[in-house]
């Protein structure tokens, strides 16, 4: 039976006649630019001229997603009804034979995010109002303090606290290793994808496990306990090593210990849980609710860190959050510089609306990035506000974007002192 205001249309893409599209999509453009770092952005334009943006950036694999979108997804979007957000998600995910994985889920995310942006603009409302409205006054974010040594780390923590941050992630160089992932040259704008061919970092689990409790202990000793302190392990430990680290950090009262073990070793979290009460976060490389299922159902983690851009967009991220809420697991969305302002805005609209928001990662984008993606979100008092503009509140300056062409850039790899490969 036709919906109110709609009549069967023979023009619908593929298959039998359908209900006439309310807001047909007319154009799908993939924009690749590099204002300080690489970004892939999908722009959908409807017949009535409304545009929506979606982030499609997959760090170090940008062109794979751009091709997936251009060659396989965009042709199926033309003529499709932009108001059918859930159906489009199901079409791209459930309709597809090859499922999940970062390339596919990032492409689906871009489409989904752009459709929410369009919906907000049609309604004249910011996306968070469409998601149920505010559940909180603002989105608490954490910044990235890091130093080559403890003295530099302490200076950086001081800088973040002076800037009003209520939560700080602390990373420190490991003595005897020439570089450590998470410790950057430029302290405010951290960019890990630093070379066309991956840089090789050196790794020693023994040295790392000795360095971290001392460094984080020094942070608490100097600045006290009135702010949230976080640490990212970057998937580098075995379960028993992570258990030991978690236990040795209990006196530091961490907000979380992030990614203690490689993402594919989810059973390992059971062992970690048996040994430490340090809260655990993971999920930045997980791409679907099915990847998080065991971790959430067994309450093996306290925070799920999937992101809008890498886990299927607002529609799917909202589903993950709702599932996690059932188990009292809160969210802590990934928000490094490789997640574009479009993704950050989408995350903020979701963060402010869902009941089980925990914290939002916030690595400031460079000035060039902010200029290419003018946005309405703002930082004040340790929180981000998504802004009240209709949709996501982010645009892209095409002319400026064209002045920053794509440059190959990769994340580093990690070798042990004996030259063998270690986990990322
Ligand atoms: C984080 C991360 C980043 C990622 C980077 C990969 O918690 O912010 O671990 O540093 O490694 O975003 O693309
Ligand atoms: Mg991380």
pLDDT tens-digit series, residues 236-253? 999 999 999 999 999 999
Which residue from 284, 311, 424 has its CB within 8 A of the most atoms of ligand 1, so it is best to mutate? 284
Q: Cβ(291) to ligand 1 under 6 A?
A: no
Q: How far is the CA of 336 from the centre of ligand 1 (A)?
A: 6
Q: Return the ligand number nearest the Cα of 340.
A: 1
Q: How far is the CA of 336 from the centre of ligand 2 (A)?
A: 8
Q: What is the mean pLDDT of residues 54-67?
A: 98
Q: Cβ(351) to ligand 1 under 6 A?
A: no
Q: What is the mean pLDDT of residues 153-178?
A: 96
Which residue from 194, 232, 259, 311 has its CB within 8 A of the most atoms of ligand 1, so it is best to mutate? 232
Residues with a known catalytic role: 181, 234
Mean of per-residue pLDDT scores for the chain: 94
Question: Domains of the chain by range and CATH?
Answer: 16-129 (3.30.390.10), 131-388 (3.20.20.120)
Q: How far is the CA of 24 from the centre of ligand 2 (A)?
A: 38
CB 261 within 8 A of CB 272: yes
Q: Identify the band that residue 7 occupies on the pLDDT scale cut at 50, 70 and 90.
A: very low
Q: How many residues does the chain have?
A: 424
Q: Flag whether pLDDT at 38 surpasses 70.
A: yes
């Amino acid at each position: 039976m036709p919906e109110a205001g709609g009549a069967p249309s023979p023009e619908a893409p593929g298959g039998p006649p359908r209900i006439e599209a309310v807001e047909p999509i007319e154009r799908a453009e993939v924009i690749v630019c590099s204002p300080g770092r690489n970004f892939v952005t999908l722009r959908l334009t409807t017949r009535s001229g409304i545009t929506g943006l979606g982030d499609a950036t997959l760090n170090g694999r940008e062109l794979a997603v751009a091709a997936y979108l251009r060659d396989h997804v965009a042709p199926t979007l033309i003529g499709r009804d932009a108001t059918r957000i859930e159906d489009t998600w199901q079409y791209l995910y459930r309709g597809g034979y090859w499922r999940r994985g970062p390339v596919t889920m990032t492409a689906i995310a871009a489409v989904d995010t752009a459709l929410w942006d369009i919906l907000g603009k049609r309604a004249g409302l910011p996306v968070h109002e469409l998601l149920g409205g505010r559940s909180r006054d603002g989105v608490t974010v954490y910044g990235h303090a890091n130093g080559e040594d403890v003295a530099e780390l302490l200076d950086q923590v001081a800088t973040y606290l002076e800037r009003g941050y209520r939560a700080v992630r602390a990373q420190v160089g490991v003595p005897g290793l020439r570089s450590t992932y998470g410790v950057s040259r430029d302290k405010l704008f951290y960019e890990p994808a630093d070379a066309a061919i991956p840089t090789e970092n050196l790794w020693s689990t023994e040295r790392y496990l000795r360095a971290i409790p001392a460094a984080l202990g020094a942070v608490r000793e100097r600045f006290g306990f009135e702010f949230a302190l976080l640490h990212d392990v970057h998937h580098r430990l075995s379960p028993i090593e992570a258990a030991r680290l978690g236990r040795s950090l209990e006196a530091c009262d961490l907000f979380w210990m992030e990614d203690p073990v490689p993402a594919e070793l989810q059973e390992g979290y059971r062992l970690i849980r048996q040994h430490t009460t340090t809260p655990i976060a993971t999920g930045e490389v997980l791409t679907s609710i099915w990847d998080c299922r065991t971790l959430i159902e067994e309450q093996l983690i306290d925070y799920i860190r999937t992101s809008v851009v890498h886990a299927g967009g607002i529609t799917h991220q909202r589903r993950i959050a709702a599932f996690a809420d059932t188990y009292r697991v809160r969210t802590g969305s990934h928000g490094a510089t490789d997640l574009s302002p479009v993704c950050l805005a989408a995350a903020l609209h979701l963060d402010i609306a869902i009941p089980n928001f925990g914290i939002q990662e916030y690595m400031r984008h460079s000035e060039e990035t902010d200029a290419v993606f003018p946005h309405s979100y703002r930082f004040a008092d340790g929180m981000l506000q998504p802004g009240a503009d209709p949709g996501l509140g982010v645009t892209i300056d095409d002319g400026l974007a064209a002045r920053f062409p794509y440059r190959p850039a990769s994340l580093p790899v990690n070798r042990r002192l004996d030259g063998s490969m270690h986990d990322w």
